[in-house]
Structure 1
Amino acid sequence: MIHRLIVALGCVLLVASCANIPEQTNAYVIQSSASQPQQKVQLPDRDADPIMVVRRFIEASGDTAVAEAYLTEEAKRLWRPDNQPAIVEDDFSTVPKTQGMESDPDTASVEVKSTTKGRLDSRKSFHVQVGQQSGIVKLVRQDGQWRISETPNNGLIIPISAFNNYYRPVKLYFYDASREVPVPDQRYLPGTPRPSPSDIVSLLLQGPATVLQGAVRSALPSSAVQRTNVTSSSRDGATVVNLGMLGNLTIEDKRAIATQIVLSLQDVPTTTVRLQVEGMPLVPDQPDWKVSDIQPDSDRTTPRAQLTGMMVVGNRVKDLRDGKPITNPAGTGEYRVESAAQSVDGSQLAVVERLNSGQLQLRVGGLNEGLRQIEQRTATEMTRPTWQYPVASNEIGNEVWVVADGTIIRAVRNREGTWLPLPVNQAEIDRYGKITELRLSRDGVRVAVVADGKLLVGAVVRSTGSTDVAISAPKQLLPSITNVVGVDWLDPSRLVVATNTPTGPVWQVPVDGIQAQRYNLANLTLPLSSITAAPSRQIVVTDAVGMWTASDIGQVWLPHPQSQAQGPTARPFYPG
């Protein structure tokens, strides 16, 4: 009788627990990385000495379940592996600390010396933080075996190779200030072979990375929660995301949320994402989503294929493909052009003109018309221009940036068609030195700067309801290289950088700076003078001989078709 009662009660509870799950889902839980059952962990080598125990602990630190086996029970309770783990170079040192004659023979100390690359913060973003660090690891002997009783700050040190083996990059998506264009925000989560979808959604709900605060927006309200872990439908394999506490949202808000989630989960092995709120479809007429359902806005931030690029040669703007001057006063010789930029949509041109007085001024206008002076503003030094993409789909490029005698200027076209110079709050970047290059990312969210030969990346923060703009949280990338001469955006997450370093003239650098990759050295002759890049296009650099192109990291640099005709003074540029 009691057995039947228990069975009946179990059935009632089962029915109640499934009441809010739609019949078509038949979902089961995809556990988060923290809740996944751990495999049996192999214990440390028997009779290993303190130095070997510490080394193996650090080498295993990418997998915290394995590393934990090297700790005493008390150390396990105090250990905080998620508290901003330090990512270090692989060649760390472990040096025994000498103990006094009267010290306990069952205790030992080992000093760990390493070169830090950076740290992961609480939101799993990487922050460059290069430098030498050292810390003491303490050990005790238990039952004849050495175990770690204390780590520096009770934290985690991860060699970069272990980090690459056990952590996976994840691109979360937020929106630019106008909430028009999805913007990638890279994080790093443990996971083999892939991070947990629940962990990805959890990070997305927390909001953008600290360095992007104010520069991007989320369509998800701050009150939003996961009602259940992300699940997978046993019927059709769809990934089921069930949210709660979204509040009252318009259909546009819901579709914007769908875009964020689907793009953020696009590396999860599924073709369909089923989006729900309290067990019901997020968008009533579209319960299931694929990446192909997302209306791409990249057309507004990515140059069209027919825009093949331009170059400045002999104070004229020419077509990069055939070397012919463009049909604009900037191409015919009416202006003495020092540098130039084409808007992302291709319709506008900005040039830096050298006047007879030797001063420089900015001119802006349509590609097929004369270019207007920006309020007669002149300077002795001026960087090449860079364009903000046209925010509204029916607009043309209407904002261009330059640095004039160290001051960042935004030239903005108003509704009457007049171009006005507006300031940028650059207080956070001034301390790095003289700015010689500035490039807006094509989504307008970040800015890459070369200041005194150093490469910096900051966020572009636009104040709601005003014209105030500031560069926020600039970080130095490639800290070991201080002779950067040029930079451009390969895509929203990667930069290409030209330097005058013989051992590495050209680099590809992720926007968080975690691990730069050097391009092939072959055929380039220092000094380099310029570089340009854009999605789905060859990189073009100019060296002491002429222009060279490459499509990937390992490719040998090949002469650009116009290299011989234009020579080493050519300054190529793609729209942006």
Structure 2
Amino acid sequence: MTRPTNAGRRVAAAAAMAVAALQAASCASLPSSSSPVPIGTLDRAPAEQTITPPQPRRAPDQLLQDFLTVGNAPAGKHAQARQYLTKEAAAHWDDSARITIVTDTAVLRESQSDSKATYLVRANRVGQLLDNGAYKPDNGSLELRIELVRFGGEWRIDELPSGVIMDRQLFQDSYRAHPLYFPNAAGTALAPDMRWFCNDRNALATQLVAALAAGPRSGLAPAVRNMLAGGVTPNPPTRADGRPGPVGVGMGGVRIDFRGASALDQRSREILAAQVIWTLDGSRVPGGYQLLADGKPLDDRYASGWTVAEVAMLNPNVDSGVDVGLNAVRAGALVQVDNTGLAQVPGYFGGTAAMQSAALSRDGKQVAAVVGDRTRRTQNLMVGTYGGGAAPVNAAARITRPSWSPDNRSVWAVLDTARVVRATRDPSSGEVTTADVDTAGLAGLGKQISELRISRDGTRAAMIIDGRVVVAVVVLHNGRWALANAHPVPLRPGAQALSLDWSSGHDLLVSTAGGDAPLVSAQVDGAVIEPFTSQNLIPPIGTIDATATTFYAKDNRTVMQLKNNDPSNKDRYWREVPYLAGVDVVPVLPG
């Protein structure tokens, strides 16, 4: 938020808090052709409300408290909040700037006379909502003075700074996250870019397509492509059935004509369709989807309309490693786990007795493992085939659990808490080459990396650095791999991260110590950090491993599992994985 002037500073706090309420209001009046505006609800649509004036004869502190709690009123241009301002303040208040998200707000009276009152508002900054709907974590304190004046016998706020300040709970109650999807550099997977938009269903399809056309957030851009670039521009969506009414609501379908798309090759057209369809489907904008290139069908095979079935090859909700099944490190060796028991994996990985952690490639054909060398008191990173041989790649005093890229050829690990390496195995020759990863982008975020996990789409790396969760993008720059544009994902107060894994393309499951919840679910942009069910687990919770359908955790007794399709959060219990009781057991999955 722009630093307010002295006059603005007096009112800033109030405006900020009021803005939270007001933001929902402006979304209702968005024109269908406008750029996306980040206003809406997280879990439910705001109820229709009428604009009402403040209650009469309110004391200044009461009026201010009322002002700070009207944020759920979805009326155009924050009309509800403007009722609490003088006419001059309402006319000059710029509510279009970014939103600052705060917690622990306190309102204190400094002075009051018959005609004026001054209040001090203090809060902790935790995030910013940018004008493109992207959430950015923030950290610091906020202190503003708000001045109210008595006008016509009623108290009113006489000035507000540009922008909005919103309590985090109000933000979570008043906004909804929507994933925009962008293809990774190879075009083999879609990476989510979370945005927070107004829950106006009538405008949502247009907002999403406009946001895709505007491109990914700057921090993600180096790791992804955008098919709505390079001369390809979408016309505003219309109803596919040609009938009047809102687009993307009900069964009318969505029709989008992409100008310039006729120049794309077949593969690029398929990726474009997948990017758009999965973005709309991810926000529950129903199809069919009629996609055109300069007025003609984008693909003649689907001239009558696309469904998600036609773009299933890039389904961001499907985990290719699910079919591989569960393995485990037990008594220092790799074993396969099924409903009938345990089976020792043939070859090197099942024959060693010193394995400490391991990971399988997405296709289950490659293995990377950390194996101890008691003679040298070191650990070796071993890479080889499942059921076959292995070769040493690196040695260090300490090596993190390996993590595979989605190409099934490259595996990442951290040596001695600081050196990140990427090892690539040639599938035809079996030769393994290694290279150091550029970690300059992690500067200032800590020293000791205890965990690193590559996302299933390959565009991000989630790490634990000095007990904090950090997410960076994975980029190839001038022939060298790098971790760039890193940012911390704040946990709950007092929590230190122990282990983590990707529960989806945009969420992490994190085990913690010292906080109020041994497990938390964290959205990758840092906007949502929630306790995750830990029923039937005994802390501390060590290794976390996850697929799109099942989560695994190593607690103080054994390996536990939780199915994603289990009942609601309150009724979800972790259950023991048969045959894996024991403290020396670690779950192993692809990834």
TM-score by length of 2: 0.82
**Cα separation, 2, equivalents of 1:389 and 1:413:** 13
Q: Which residues of structure 1 form unaligned runs of 5+?
A: 1-28, 391-396
Compared CA separation, residues 148 and 189, structure 1 to 2 (3 A): same
Secondary structure at 1:403's aligned position in 2? Answer: strand
Greater Cα offset, 157-166 or 419-428: 157-166
Instruction: Work out whether 1:548 is the aligned partner of 2:576.
Output: no
Q: Decide whether the 8 Å contact of 2:362 with 2:590 is kept in 1.
A: yes
Deviations 1:180-225 (Å, cap 9, x if unpaired)?
A: 2111111100124575211111111110012212011111115544
Q: Decide whether the 8 Å contact of 2:320 with 2:363 is kept in 1.
A: yes
Compared CA separation, residues 505 and 300, structure 1 to 2 (3 A): closer
Compared CA separation, residues 522 and 72, structure 1 to 2 (3 A): same
Q: Which residue of 1 aligns with 2:225?
A: 217
Q: Which residue of 2 aligns with 1:389?
A: 406
Q: Decide whether the 8 Å contact of 1:194 with 1:268 is kept in 2.
A: no
Q: Which residue of 2 aligns with 1:250?
A: 265
Query: What amino acid is the match of 1:49?
Result: A
C-alpha displacement at 1:550, in angstroms?
A: 2.8
Q: Which residue of 1 aligns with 2:175?
A: 167
Compared CA separation, residues 532 and 182, structure 1 to 2 (3 A): same
Q: Decide whether the 8 Å contact of 2:253 with 2:288 is kept in 1.
A: yes
Instruction: Work out whether 1:400 is the aligned partner of 2:417.
Output: no
Q: Which residue of 2 aligns with 1:354?
A: 372
C-alpha displacement at 1:109, in angstroms?
A: 2.7
Q: Decide whether the 8 Å contact of 2:239 with 2:254 is kept in 1.
A: yes
Instruction: Work out whether 1:125 is the aligned partner of 2:134.
Output: yes
Secondary structure at 2:578's aligned position in 1? Answer: coil
C-alpha displacement at 1:489, in angstroms?
A: 1.0
Compared CA separation, residues 177 and 477, structure 1 to 2 (3 A): farther
Compared CA separation, residues 227 and 543, structure 1 to 2 (3 A): closer
Compared CA separation, residues 293 and 481, structure 1 to 2 (3 A): farther
Secondary structure at 1:67's aligned position in 2? Answer: helix
Greater Cα offset, 229-238 or 553-562: 229-238
**Cα separation, 1, equivalents of 2:527 and 2:318:** 25
Q: 1:338 aligns with which of 345, 349, 356?
A: 356
Compared CA separation, residues 168 and 575, structure 1 to 2 (3 A): same
Instruction: Work out whether 1:76 is the aligned partner of 2:85.
Output: no
C-alpha displacement at 1:299, in angstroms?
A: 9.1
Deviations 1:301-356 (Å, cap 9, x if unpaired)?
A: 724443222121221112243333212221122x6212111111111101112122
**Cα separation, 2, equivalents of 1:524 and 1:182:** 33
Secondary structure at 1:204's aligned position in 2? Answer: helix
Instruction: Work out whether 1:514 is the aligned partner of 2:527.
Output: yes
Q: Decide whether the 8 Å contact of 1:168 with 1:195 is kept in 2.
A: no
**Cα separation, 2, equivalents of 1:300 and 1:349:** 24
Instruction: Work out whether 1:276 is the aligned partner of 2:292.
Output: yes
Compared CA separation, residues 71 and 222, structure 1 to 2 (3 A): farther
Q: Which residue of 2 aligns with 1:56?
A: 66
**Cα separation, 1, equivalents of 2:296 and 2:148:** 54
Q: Decide whether the 8 Å contact of 1:340 with 1:352 is kept in 2.
A: yes
Query: What amino acid is the match of 1:212?
Result: L
**Cα separation, 2, equivalents of 1:276 and 1:71:** 48
Q: Decide whether the 8 Å contact of 1:228 with 1:243 is kept in 2.
A: no
Q: Which residues of structure 2 form unaligned runs of 5+?
A: 1-30, 41-47, 244-250
Q: Which residue of 1 aligns with 2:383?
A: 364
Greater Rg over alpha carbons, structure: 1
Query: What amino acid is the match of 1:221?
Result: A
Matches within 5 A, 1:150-299: 150-151=159-160, 153-192=161-200, 196-228=204-236, 230-231=238-239, 233-235=241-243, 237-244=252-259, 248-266=263-281, 267-277=283-293, 279-287=295-303, 288-298=305-315
Query: What amino acid is the match of 1:255?
Result: E
Compared CA separation, residues 458 and 86, structure 1 to 2 (3 A): same
Q: Decide whether the 8 Å contact of 2:349 with 2:387 is kept in 1.
A: no
Compared CA separation, residues 560 and 275, structure 1 to 2 (3 A): same
Instruction: Work out whether 1:428 is the aligned partner of 2:446.
Output: no
- Number of aligned residue pairs: give it: 528
Secondary structure at 2:544's aligned position in 1? Answer: strand
Compared CA separation, residues 39 and 231, structure 1 to 2 (3 A): farther
Compared CA separation, residues 232 and 112, structure 1 to 2 (3 A): farther
C-alpha displacement at 1:296, in angstroms?
A: 2.2
**Cα separation, 2, equivalents of 1:76 and 1:460:** 46
Q: Which residue of 1 aligns with 2:13?
A: none
**Cα separation, 2, equivalents of 1:561 and 1:532:** 17
* RMSD after superposition: 2.9
**Cα separation, 2, equivalents of 1:149 and 1:225:** 44
C-alpha displacement at 1:258, in angstroms?
A: 1.8
**Cα separation, 2, equivalents of 1:70 and 1:524:** 50
Query: What amino acid is the match of 1:575?
Result: P
Q: Which residue of 1 aligns with 2:504?
A: 491
Q: Decide whether the 8 Å contact of 2:176 with 2:196 is kept in 1.
A: yes
Secondary structure at 2:399's aligned position in 1? Answer: coil
Q: Decide whether the 8 Å contact of 2:109 with 2:120 is kept in 1.
A: yes
Deviations 1:148-204 (Å, cap 9, x if unpaired)?
A: 2323x4221222333233322111110111122111111100124575211111111
**Cα separation, 2, equivalents of 1:53 and 1:234:** 49
TM-score by length of 1: 0.84
Q: Which residue of 2 aligns with 1:109?
A: 118
Compared CA separation, residues 277 and 96, structure 1 to 2 (3 A): farther
Compared CA separation, residues 237 and 524, structure 1 to 2 (3 A): closer
C-alpha displacement at 1:249, in angstroms?
A: 2.5
**Cα separation, 2, equivalents of 1:72 and 1:41:** 16
Query: What amino acid is the match of 1:330?
Result: F
Q: Decide whether the 8 Å contact of 2:121 with 2:145 is kept in 1.
A: yes
Greater Cα offset, 227-236 or 73-82: 227-236
Q: Which residue of 1 aligns with 2:43?
A: none
Deviations 1:412-465 (Å, cap 9, x if unpaired)?
A: 1347542111111112224312011111111111111011111111111223x7
Compared CA separation, residues 80 and 179, structure 1 to 2 (3 A): farther
**Cα separation, 2, equivalents of 1:503 and 1:412:** 40
Q: Decide whether the 8 Å contact of 1:428 with 1:474 is kept in 2.
A: no
Q: Decide whether the 8 Å contact of 2:474 with 2:481 is kept in 1.
A: no
